[in-house]
């Protein structure tokens, strides 16, 4: 029996940083997926083979509930996400916690090549092994640069759900997956990327550090067109959040002022999406991008750095609104407009100054699970 689980990546449209304080964010699932194929094994061993990541490791579950890999420290660190998902799943079961089931499953999408192969062991899968193949190649460009499309969240959703399916546990729900992923990130992270990977489509997400996170499906107005640009530089969300956290400690009043301003714009944008007001939503995207720039300047954060400024200037000449997606600095930015002609002009302008359009679309299907 092989379980196949697949989950899409994410594109933050609106609500970056403010979502950490409880504001509603707009996040889209995109048609780049992480895929896990997992099968039981007869012996007490964990094996990971990742051809695309050049990983090859063997390990076992230790008595303390942690995975012990027979690898060097560098490889063990690269296995951090895989280890964390396995350990979180098994420890929850050992403590008698039963994850709530989700019904958001369907047919697995084919065609996701490149892999990781994971193999482990014990009787309810705490005592027997498994072999899993994980594919995340779609989240990198042809040079191996990470695009910033939520690969770790997509892999967390797919791997955790596949493990639960294989061992007969109810599938983990949104709050549980958010907690799992946030713990892997050192307690940081909003969970918006998890919501997109689990639910698919465009999601109005509220999480932060408040009550249980929620994700509500929403449809963007027909009058909103968009396309994505890769800055050519990958950035670390964790590092950006650490800088912001330090600035918050030193300047709590200024932090509150900036985050409240971002939250107000995000809520207005979500409201515009709910009422299909394309003009108001485009205005929210523009205002949010400007406010992100102000936050970055105040906090010493590279949110709208050199690359994003160059692309934003090109966008303005084409009548297109541009903002970073996610933590900013590098990774992906999005151009928004009310018609396709402006977007087409923007695509050409971006290429002319040496940046690359990354073609992607909203992925309506979130987590999928099937068996063979």
Q: Tell me the pLDDT tens digit for each residue of 350-366.
A: 999 999 999 999 999 99
CB 302 within 8 A of CB 206: no
For the chain, list the domains and their CATH numbers. 3-219+363-371 (3.30.230.10), 225-358 (3.30.70.890)
- Mean per-residue pLDDT, 15-40: 94
- Mean per-residue pLDDT, 208-217: 82
- Mean per-residue pLDDT, 89-112: 44
Residue with tokens 């061992």: 167
Instruction: Give the pLDDT confidence score for residue 89 in this predicted structure.
Output: 84
Instruction: Give the pLDDT confidence score for residue 145 in this predicted structure.
Output: 85
In the predicted model, is pLDDT for residue 24 greater than 50? yes
- Going by C-alpha positions, the residue among 318, 309, 325 that lies closest to residue 347 is 318
Q: Tell me the pLDDT tens digit for each residue of 228-255.
A: 999 999 888 888 889 999 999 999 999 9
pLDDT grade, residue 130 (50/70/90)?
A: confident
Note the helical H segments in 69-128: 73-78, 80-94
Instruction: Give the pLDDT confidence score for residue 211 in this predicted structure.
Output: 65
Between CA 301 and CA 95 the distance in angstroms is: 41
- Mean per-residue pLDDT, 293-317: 96
b/e map 116-148, b = 16+ CB within 10 Å? bbbbbbeeebbebbbbbbbbbbbbbeeeeebbb
In the predicted model, is pLDDT for residue 341 greater than 50? yes
Interacting residues of 121 by C-beta distance below 8 A, sequence separation 6+: 41, 43, 44, 45, 46, 60, 61, 127, 128, 129, 130
Q: Tell me the pLDDT tens digit for each residue of 144-169.
A: 888 999 999 999 999 999 989 988 88
In the predicted model, is pLDDT for residue 204 greater than 70? yes
Within 124-237, strands assigned E span 128-135, 202-206, 214-218, 225-230
Instruction: Give the pLDDT confidence score for residue 222 in this predicted structure.
Output: 93
Which one is predicted more confidently, 44 or 222? Answer: 222
Between CA 203 and CA 219 the distance in angstroms is: 8
Sign of the C-alpha dihedral, residues 267, 294, 223, 194? Answer: negative
pLDDT grade, residue 329 (50/70/90)?
A: confident
Instruction: Give the pLDDT confidence score for residue 113 in this predicted structure.
Output: 37
Instruction: Give the pLDDT confidence score for residue 185 in this predicted structure.
Output: 82
CB 304 within 8 A of CB 295: no
In this structure, of 9-13, 76-80, 98-102, the range with the lowest mean pLDDT score is 98-102
Q: DSSP 3-state assignment of 76? A: helix
Instruction: Give the pLDDT confidence score for residue 44 in this predicted structure.
Output: 79
In the predicted model, is pLDDT for residue 124 greater than 50? no
Interacting residues of 113 by C-beta distance below 8 A, sequence separation 6+: 135, 137
Average pLDDT, the chain: 87
Termini Cα distance of the chain: 6
- C-alpha angle 241-244-250 in degrees, rounded to nearest 5: 145
Question: Which backbone phi and psi does 282 adopt, to 5 degrees?
Answer: -60, -40
In this structure, of 25-29, 147-151, 198-202, 342-346, the range with the lowest mean pLDDT score is 147-151
């Amino acid at each position: 029996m092989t379980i196949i689980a697949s989950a899409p990546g994410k594109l933050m449209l609106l609500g970056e940083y403010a979502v950490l304080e409880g504001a509603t964010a707009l996040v889209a699932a995109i048609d780049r997926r992480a895929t896990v194929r997992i099968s039981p094994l007869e012996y007490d061993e964990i094996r990971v083979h990742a051809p695309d990541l050049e990983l090859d490791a063997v390990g076992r579950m230790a008595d303390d509930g942690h995975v012990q890999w027979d690898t060097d420290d560098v490889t063990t660190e690269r296995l951090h996400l895989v280890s964390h998902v396995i350990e979180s799943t098994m420890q929850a079961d050992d403590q008698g916690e039963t994850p709530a089931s989700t019904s958001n499953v369907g047919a697995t999408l084919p065609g996701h090549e490149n892999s990781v192969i994971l193999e482990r062991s014990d009787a309810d899968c705490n005592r027997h092994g498994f072999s899993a193949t994980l594919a995340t190649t779609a989240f990198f460009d042809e040079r191996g640069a990470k695009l910033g499309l939520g690969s770790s969240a997509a892999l967390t959703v797919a791997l955790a759900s596949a493990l639960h399916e294989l061992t007969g546990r109810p599938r983990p729900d949104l709050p549980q997956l958010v907690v799992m992923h946030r713990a892997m990130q050192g307690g940081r992270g909003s969970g918006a990327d998890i919501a997109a990977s689990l639910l698919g489509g465009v999601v109005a997400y509220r999480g932060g550090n408040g009550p249980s996170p929620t994700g509500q499906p929403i449809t963007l107005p027909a009058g909103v067109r968009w396309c994505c640009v890769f800055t050519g530089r990958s950035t670390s969300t964790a590092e950006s959040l650490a800088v912001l956290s330090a600035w918050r400690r030193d300047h709590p009043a200024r932090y509150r002022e900036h985050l409240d301003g971002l939250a107000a714009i995000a809520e207005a944008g979500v409201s515009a999406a709910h009422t299909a007001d394309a003009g108001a939503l485009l205005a929210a995207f523009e205002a949010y991008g400007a406010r992100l720039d102000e936050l970055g300047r105040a906090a010493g954060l590279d949110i709208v750095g050199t690359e994003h400024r160059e692309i934003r200037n090109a966008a303005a000449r084409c009548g297109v609104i541009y903002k970073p997606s996610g933590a900013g600095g590098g990774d992906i930015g999005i151009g928004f407009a009310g018609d396709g002609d402006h977007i087409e002009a923007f695509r050409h302008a971006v290429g002319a100054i040496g940046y690359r359009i990354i073609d992607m679309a909203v992925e309506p299907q979130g987590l999928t699970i099937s068996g063979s």
